[in-house]
A and B are shown apart, each in its own frame.
Chain A
């Protein structure tokens, strides 16, 4: 629509005489468009106001970055949720759960990274760099592993990882090593490695390997600068245990270890607390053993090894009610974990309720057959019942499965308890002469674990020599072969 034009004098005149004509407030020249305060010409100009070039650039950038971010975020959501879950578990001192979530996070990030081709040695593409676990999270992951398992294992897995030498670790992981969560353990690790080097290269290493010579050797080592005295004290205990010194002697070294650890102000509990609890319990001080294990449980509420040891201590002390109470508490807190069933089966066996123990074991084996200890407990029940054939079959299958998992898939190595129980079952079944050809191979396999020169010790020797019956060993004192 064409606007009617007026000059200033005309506009003033019109304004004075014809009230219905309103002049455009923008240009001050034209009559306003109907229902508007501006004329059509100004309205048209306003409708086509140019957008500044910089605005287009900014908007285009925001769209591009937004799209790339959205695509990347799609992959980072899962790892972020794992970190959130891990942090939440860590706040409750559930370090086992926390380390599980962190390992899931790490695995997910690695999987996403592997989708992007990159030849090692060449410069890493930027898109790959977007999937990187930063130092802070790596340090938290380290803390979770250290508290759930063992700080030295955590250092090997997270700090050292795929690095092949010390210089490479220092060059690439300096930030991580300097982190406040890692540094204390790294210092302990360095001290232990240095002490090990002294062990290996010392000229005073005993020619004749016996308890006294080793103690003298360790005493010479601990005087050297840089040696980790807590570790050396622990090694003295290890030697005492290896040479079957009395519980009092073993306890004496662990007491020294405990004293030195407390003086150092560093956390060495991971190194000696389990053994300390064991030795203290063997010396008859069940209460102190429970206190030591409770400290470990307080530090990591997922510590099923400590629960399991506490269970054994209660059972050895004949405190069945306390064991049952603890198992129920753990069940209430963590639900039906395999480890809880494991403790329950052990408790029922100690109490002599074999049928009930077998039922519980069958339940968990049907649900999740990944707990070798449950099979070992079943084998012990068969042994106590005099059914050596079933005991051997149980242990033969279990040991072979665990060993295969260890060799083929990097699972856990068969424990000494498992191996010794397998050995005893094989010896007892061998003595019956009722085995088939296949089973004879299994018996040979069991013997080969320890070699031909193996000489059984303690209760196992007593059973083999006929000094004790299997039932006697499995129903008195520790109620176990090992």
Chain B
């Protein structure tokens, strides 16, 4: 499935590149060692950076979710502005070529960022394991922390699994196409 993953990442290269950047920035801020920083590699690390897995729960949580949150905050409005103008405000090439191209680019870049919100599989597994171990620990403080982390960790885990098979790319491509057709 590596080829599917790499194709998906190359299709959404602006999002993959930005995702890798936010990952590296998070590592830098958290002091997590980075092993390899190639942003757009032709392997399963494409769109991510190779780094040590954090052992502390808070670091693991921030490392797994913060880049996605940054992607969501920048990608969603970008996508929405382009998409709304093309789909709902009915903008066409003849109205203004420059604005039309801008909206197309914004829709594409926004969607590509939204396709790359999740961390690599190992990072997600690490967070999920930490979350479960906290819940099972029996220590009240840890259990509360684990419960707080449970839902985000679950979504991160599911997202990372789907992203391994480029499912988000497919979902976005189909949804956007359908929105224009229906």
A interface residue numbers (CB < 8 A to B): 38, 43, 46-49, 51-52, 55-56, 58-59, 62-63, 65-67, 69-70, 72-73, 76, 79-80, 83-84, 129-130, 132-140, 174-175
Contact call B21/A55, Cβ cutoff below 8 A: yes
Q: Scoring B residues 8 to 32 as 1 if CB is less than 8 Å from chain A, else 0, what string do you get? A: 0000001001101110110110011
The residue on B at minimum CB distance from A80 is: B88
Contact B85 A134 (CB under 8 A): yes
- Given A46-B33, A55-B17, A55-B21, A80-B90 contact (CB < 8 Å): no
Residue of B nearest to A49 (CB): B34
- Whether A175 pairs with B94 at a CB distance below 8 angstroms is yes
Contact of A134 among B28, B39, B91 (CB under 8 A): B91
Nearest B residue to A43 via CB reads B33
CB contacts (< 8 Å) of A140 on chain B: these are: 90
Q: Are A132 and B37 in contact (CB under 8 A)?
A: no
Contact of A69 (CB < 8 Å), options: B20, B78, B99: B78
Q: Which of B95-109 contact A (CB under 8 A)?
A: 95-96, 99, 106, 109
Q: CB distance B21 to A58 under 8 Å?
A: yes
- B33 near A69 with CB under 8 A, answer no
Contact in complex: A66, B74 (CB < 8 Å): yes
CA of A49 to CA of B52 in the docked complex: distance in angstroms?
13
A136→B87 CA distance, assembly (Å): 9
Whether B18 pairs with A59 at a CB distance below 8 angstroms is: yes
Q: Determine if A135 and B32 form an interchain contact, defined as CB atoms under 8 angstroms apart.
A: no
Say whether, besides A62-B78, A70-B77, A133-B90, A76 and B84 are in contact (CB < 8 Å).
Answer: yes
| With known contacts A62-B78, A76-B85, A134-B90, A129–B35 Cβ distance under 8 A | no
Add 15 more A-B contacts to A62-B78, A80-B88, A133-B90 (CB < 8 A): A49-B37, A51-B25, A52-B37, A55-B20, A55-B39, A67-B77, A69-B78, A72-B81, A73-B81, A83-B89, A84-B88, A137-B88, A139-B90, A175-B94, A175-B95
- B73 adjacent to chain A (CB < 8 Å): yes
Min C-beta distance of A118 to chain B, whole Å:
16
On chain A, the residues within 8 Å of B24 by CB distance are 49, 51, 55
A69 x B88 contact (CB < 8 A): no
Q: With an 8 A cutoff between CB atoms, is B80 at the interface?
A: yes
User: Distance (Å) between the CB of B155 and the closest chain A CB?
Assistant: 21
Q: What is the minimal beta-carbon distance from B18 to any residue of chain A, in angstroms? A: 6
Tell me the minimal C-beta distance from B165 to chain A in angstroms.
26
The answer to whether A63 and B92 have CB atoms under 8 Å apart is no
Contacts of B86 in A (CB 8 A): 134
CB distance from B52 to the nearest CB of A (A): 8
Chain A residues near B168 (CB, 8 Å)? Answer: none
Query: In the complex, A49 Cα to B36 Cα: how many Å?
Result: 9
B119 interface contact, C-beta 8 A:
no
Number of chain B interface residues as a range:
35 or more
CA–CA, A217 and B83, complex, Å: 55
Query: A62, B74: Cβ atoms under 8 Å?
Result: yes
Q: Does B75 contact A (CB under 8 A)?
A: yes
- A49-B34, A55-B21 are known contacts. Are A66 and B88 too (CB-CB below 8 A)? no
Determine whether B113 belongs to the interface, using a CB cutoff of 8 Å to chain A.
Answer: yes
Q: Please judge, given known A-B contacts A69-B106, A83-B89, whether A49 and B18 are in contact too, CB under 8 Å.
A: no
Given A76-B89, A84-B88, A136-B92, does the pair A69, B28 have CB atoms closer than 8 Å?
Answer: no
Pair A69/B77 contact, Cβ less than 8 Å = yes
Q: Which residues does chain B contribute within 8 Å of A48, judged by CB atoms?
A: 28
Chain A residue at minimum C-beta to C-beta distance from B72: A66
B91 to chain A, nearest CB (A): 4
> Nearest chain-A residue to B73 (Cβ)?
A66
A445 to B73 CA separation, bound complex (whole angstroms)? 65
Instruction: Give chain A residues whose Cβ lies under 8 Å from the Cβ of B80.
Output: 69, 73
Alpha-carbon gap, A49 to B81, bound state (A): 35
- Expressed in whole angstroms, the Cα–Cα distance for A43 and B32 within the complex equals 9
Q: Which residues of B contact A46 (CB under 8 A)?
A: 33-35, 52
Bound-state Cα–Cα, A283 to B131, Å = 82
In the complex, the chain A residue whose C-beta lies closest to that of B17 is: A58
Name the A residues within 8 Å of B90 (CB-CB).
133-140
B117-148 Cβ-contact flags toward A at 8 Å (1 or 0) = 00000000000000000000000000000000
Residues on B with beta carbons closer than 8 Å to the beta carbon of A80: 84, 88-89
Contact across chains for A134 and B35 when beta carbons are under 8 A apart: no
Instruction: Select B74's contact among A51, A52, A65, A130, beta carbons within 8 Å.
Output: A65
**24 residue pairs A–B, Cβ–Cβ below 8 Å:** A47-B34, A51-B24, A51-B37, A55-B39, A58-B14, A58-B21, A62-B109, A65-B74, A65-B78, A69-B77, A69-B80, A70-B77, A72-B81, A73-B84, A80-B84, A84-B88, A129-B96, A130-B81, A130-B99, A132-B99, A134-B90, A136-B91, A136-B92, A140-B90
Output the nearest chain B residue to A63 by Cβ-Cβ distance.
Answer: B74
Are A134 and B81 in contact, with the CB atoms below 8 A?
no
Picked from B21, B34, B94, the residue with its CB within 8 Å of the CB of A59 is: B21
Least CB distance from A396 to B in Å reads 47
- The docked-state distance in angstroms from the alpha carbon of A47 to that of B35 is 9
Give residues of chain B (50-96) contacting chain A, Cβ–Cβ below 8 Å.
52, 73-75, 77-78, 80-81, 84-86, 88-92, 94-96
